[in-house]
Structure 1
Amino acid sequence: MKRTTPATLALAALLALAGCSSSNEAGTGSPSTSAWGDLTGQLTIFAAASLQPAFDELTATFAAAHPDVTVNPVTYDGSSTLATQLVEGGSADVFASADEKNMKPVVDAGLTAATPEVFTTNTLQIVVAPGNPKKVTSLADLATLSADGGIVVLCAAEVPCGSASQQVLDAAKVELKPASEEQNVRAVLTKVVSGEADAGLVYRTDVLKAGDDVEGVDFAEAAGVVNRYPIAVLSDDSRDAGHEAATAQAFVDLVLSDEGQKVLATKGFTAP
């Protein structure tokens, strides 16, 4: 892992400045033609689990546009887990978090090459089995189901979906003791899909991803708790040899572009 020197700091600043000019401020432009010219090397991305459908598509688009770049499989997990891995010495080029809270320790550790940018937003839904057999229509119903012996699962409090879940429960003045607390939103969804749980709280995008395997229930308090997703190119201290800031910035440009925003919208995300 490379160490930061005055020279590399200066280079990072120049790359960040150039990246700002290459990605248009309104999220427009063509990401298929990089302002950096022919990109090479490798690209490693850490991303919140809820981003998987969108980032799988975007990394495929990026790889097709830049055939000389080796795009490694994206590491998806809870944002808090990914942030901890980076702070403890993990290597990546780009970090996309499901909230700003879990981006902060990465920024505070000096591991971002530029200020993170919020690129999309998400809200929660109650997820239930198809047909909603337990007749859950509100957070109060969800709490009643749990109290009556039903299996309700939530994300752990340190994970963005867990923090958002607690906020909506507090707003509704509802107390709920979950059967389990999962380390990422994907695990909550999987338990409902498999029948291991009767219901849970996940992002709207996760319900959409699961299709006919589950049903989503809207509730009023969700509108008041919006997760804002930031993305950042990571600094030299987080990148291994053969991983260049220009390549990382080009991927971030794609995410921020009209093309990237359209992909996110098709997966249920909303504009920041």
Structure 2
Amino acid sequence: MPVRARWISVALAAVTAVALTACGSDTADTATTAPTGGSSSAAGASGPITVFAAASLTGAFTQIGKDFEAANPGTTVTFSFAGSSALATQINQGAPADVFASAAPANMKTVTDAGNADGTPQNFVKNQLVIAVPKGNPKNIATLADLAKPGVKVALCAPQVPCGAAAQKALQSANVTVTPVTQEQDVKAALSKVTLGEVDAALVYRTDAKAAASDVEGIEFPESANAINEYPIVVLKNGPNKAGGQAFVTYVLSAPAQKVLTDAGFQTP
């Protein structure tokens, strides 16, 4: 082959190699990039991930945690479920956690105000109150006003807990005063008073009444529309696995996780 022809052949081969490399790079970038909420797995997610979450998320997040681990081999999700106010206090006192999911913006604000959030919290679901009563509704409770009747024992969440703050808003909007026999530190504890037969009714989230449908009935009331709680989630600044925490938050916003939440009775924000 003449020298000029050989030079042209080499040049064309080099150009072709560069073009193929560029195409491969573009393909790889496209494959690892997904719109927010559209991916069920996250590249690079690994190791243990600790999530502090509101008690009302227990059932749904337990399932979401299992699904996340299946979609991201090598990850392990550990949950701490409690009242949002207690969790916020623990985070601000230095408890090691990667993600915080609160049942109300007010409790999330205590964490962001303390500078312990990495980024801006995102609302991922909302929840609404119902009146939980034992199966058969022996006290014939139908409205919030029925909770104020003599002889009706009521459990509420403590005022600093999101379900307690929502209950106070609903009662005020109905101009009803209720003196609870107990104030609990999270919604699960308030609901347990009904299932154990210790009270006649409790104001709990719709999702909790649905999860305990074999033991309780959930009575809807119109004033609950005035006390809907938005649930924000955020990665924590000092979390030991911030990358894993971000992957979990991304998964919570994805379609598979949102279906788990809506199936549990949560509403989209």
TM bracket, shorter-chain basis: 0.7 to 0.9
* Identical-residue share of aligned pairs (%): 50
Distance change (3 Å), C-alpha of 1:85 and 1:22: farther
Paired AA for residue 47 in structure 1:
A
The answer to whether 1:251 aligns with 2:248 is yes
1:18 alignment counterpart: none
Distance 1:39 1:117 in 2: 20
Distance 1:226 1:24 in 2: 28
2:234 alignment counterpart: 232
Task: Report how many aligned residue pairs link the two structures.
Answer: 238
Distance 1:93 1:178 in 2: 36
Distance 1:31 1:94 in 2: 18
TM-score, normalization by structure 1:
0.85
> Of residues 212, 215, 221 in structure 2, which corresponds to 1:213?
215
The answer to whether 1:267 aligns with 2:264 is yes
Matching of residues 187-202 of structure 1 within 5 Å? 187-202=189-204
Output one character per residue of 1:26-85: Cα deviation in whole Å (capped at 9) or x when no partner.
Answer: x3x1223x1xx242221000000000111000000111122212222x100000000001
User: What is the deviation of 1:23?
Assistant: 6.5
SS of the residue 1:157 aligns to: coil
User: What is the deviation of 1:205?
Assistant: 0.2
Distance 1:22 1:123 in 2: 35
SS of the residue 2:179 aligns to: coil
Matching of residues 81-230 of structure 1 within 5 Å? 81-144=86-149, 148-230=150-232
The answer to whether 1:52 aligns with 2:55 is no
2:85 alignment counterpart: 80
Distance 1:249 1:197 in 2: 41
Q: Which runs of 5+ in 1 are unaligned?
A: 1-20
Paired AA for residue 98 in structure 1:
A
1:10 alignment counterpart: none
Going by fraction, where is strand more abundant, 1 or 2?
2
Paired AA for residue 44 in structure 1:
T
Structure whose CA Rg is larger: 2
Q: Which has the higher contact order (CA 8 A, sep 6+)?
A: 1
1:24 alignment counterpart: 35
Say what the alpha-carbon RMSD is for the aligned residues: 1.3
TM-score, normalization by structure 2:
0.86
Paired AA for residue 188 in structure 1:
A
User: What is the deviation of 1:259?
Assistant: 1.1
